[in-house]
């Protein structure tokens, strides 16, 4: 996608954001720092390239049709029915009850979900990566966040992979679904081809891409979070206009509902970068189409060559308050990606940054899911993980707080 940074227009160091409460540079999302994601097929070739992509998708579907696309009417079968490739016990158990039981839209009533995005293990297993991460942090995650494209390939384009299905038996799943086709496995270098919001809204991908995934989620049975084109404010203009995004988002949700998919909790995710305030307003599909609002905010510190360190509160509160005041004060908020870069001169700062989260979280009362981004981004001082050292110590401690230990529904 084209973005300000690709045109040499990064906000100046120390420049104020829309509210004047924090420097705008630090709000850029972690996965957009490298510039690698901006490598695009030239405009003149896009139509041809898109046609080739769609042809490849069609050929793939023809070869694995039974595996991905169920016969009409098959969506009414019980989860785990023969031929679905889905676990029979994915939606087992009863709904939690009691005063702390989550709502139908998976909003916990007595605290917040503790989640993470964890990149695939070297052996290609998401399950192994999550289990290894949980062993480090000393607890099971409430929520596992994973990303998918619309290629329909088993590698990245199938929602609810076998690993996700297994992890989802004891955890909530958050699926980010991008209207793109990724160039490399698991979006390794973030190069991709946009399919276009206008095309999505026009229904061009319904039968071959959207419908099969909708049926898979329905067969799974358990409620899942789904974010269509997360960080959408950084996808314009390559993917289309704000009006086209709204139409595409609404079309995808309407399509799911037409197929009887009632176990999706819809998340609208933006970066939260306040320099995009007007753009974020234009991109909102409306309260009737959104169940949660997601934002991705970080303390980048030296990763962006700034001398200003932002603690957890100052890195999250301005965008949280802006979204509540300007987008919707009715919807719960998900910190869909958060993390801090290290301070090489003061390593303990990372420990303290995470340690303070349980203190700050209740003062952001509608922030009901805290999802850590556990992946480095290119650049010096840009290790955003909590895999070791003071960062791990602080994150482990935060995860033990009662506020982040809520009953996770089994369906």
Active-site amino acid positions? 231, 337
Residue 251 neighbours by CB distance under 10 Å:
19
Facing residues of 115 across strands?
Answer: 143, 371
- Taking Cα atoms as reference points, which of 262, 92, 81, 68 lies closest to residue 168? 92
Residue 233 neighbours by CB distance under 10 Å:
23
20 burial level (CB within 10 Å; 0-12, 13-18, 19+): exposed
DSSP letter for each residue of 235-263: STTTS--HHHHHHHHHHHHHHHHHTT---
Structural contact between residues 164 and 36, judged by C-beta atoms closer than 8 angstroms: no
- Taking Cα atoms as reference points, which of 211, 204, 209, 199 lies closest to residue 258? 211
- Taking Cα atoms as reference points, which of 376, 296, 318 lies closest to residue 342? 376
Q: Which residues contact 92 (CB under 8 A, 6 or more apart)?
A: 169, 410, 411
Q: Which residue has the tokens 């909590």?
A: 386
Task: Map residue 292 onto helix, strand or coil.
Answer: strand
Residue 390 neighbours by CB distance under 10 Å:
20
């Amino acid at each position: 996608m084209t973005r300000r940074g690709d045109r040499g227009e990064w906000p100046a160091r120390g420049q104020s954001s829309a509210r004047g409460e924090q420097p705008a540079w630090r709000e850029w999302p972690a996965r957009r720092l490298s510039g690698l994601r901006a490598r695009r097929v030239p405009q003149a070739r896009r139509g041809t390239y898109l046609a080739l992509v769609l042809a490849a998708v069609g050929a793939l579907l023809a070869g694995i049709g039974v595996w991905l696309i169920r016969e009409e009417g098959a969506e009414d079968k019980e989860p785990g029915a023969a031929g679905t490739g889905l676990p029979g016990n994915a939606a087992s158990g009863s709904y939690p009850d009691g005063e702390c039981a989550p709502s139908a839209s998976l909003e916990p009533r007595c605290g917040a979900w503790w989640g993470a995005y964890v990149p695939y293990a070297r052996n290609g297993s998401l399950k192994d990566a999550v289990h290894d991460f949980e062993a480090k942090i000393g607890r099971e995650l409430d929520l596992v966040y994973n990303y998918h494209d619309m290629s329909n390939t088993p590698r990245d384009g199938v929602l609810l992979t076998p690993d996700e299905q297994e992890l989802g038996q004891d955890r909530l799943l958050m699926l980010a679904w991008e209207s793109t086709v990724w160039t490399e496995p698991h979006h390794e270098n973030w190069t991709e081809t946009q399919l276009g919001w206008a095309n999505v809204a026009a229904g061009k991908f319904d039968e071959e891409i959207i419908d099969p995934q909708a049926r898979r989620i329905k067969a799974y049975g358990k409620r899942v979070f789904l974010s269509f084109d997360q960080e959408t404010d950084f996808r314009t203009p390559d993917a289309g206009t704000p009006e086209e995004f709204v139409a595409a988002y609404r079309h995808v949700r309407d399509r799911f509902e037409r197929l009887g998919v009632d176990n999706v909790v819809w998340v609208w995710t933006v970066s939260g970068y306040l320099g995009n305030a007007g753009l974020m307003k234009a991109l909102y599909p409306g309260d009737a189409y959104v169940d949660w609002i997601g934002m991705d905010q970080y303390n980048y510190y030296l990763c962006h060559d700034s001398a200003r360190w932002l603690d957890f509160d100052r890195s999250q509160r301005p965008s949280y308050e802006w979204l509540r005041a300007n987008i919707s004060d009715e919807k719960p908020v998900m910190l869909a990606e958060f993390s801090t870069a290290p301070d090489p001169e003061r390593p303990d700062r990372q420990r303290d940054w995470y340690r303070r989260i349980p203190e700050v979280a209740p003062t952001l009362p509608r922030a009901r899911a805290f999802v850590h981004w556990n992946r480095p981004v290119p650049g010096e001082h840009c290790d955003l993980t909590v895999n070791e050292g003071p960062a791990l110590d602080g994150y482990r401690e935060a995860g033990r707080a009662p506020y982040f230990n809520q009953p996770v529904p089994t369906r």
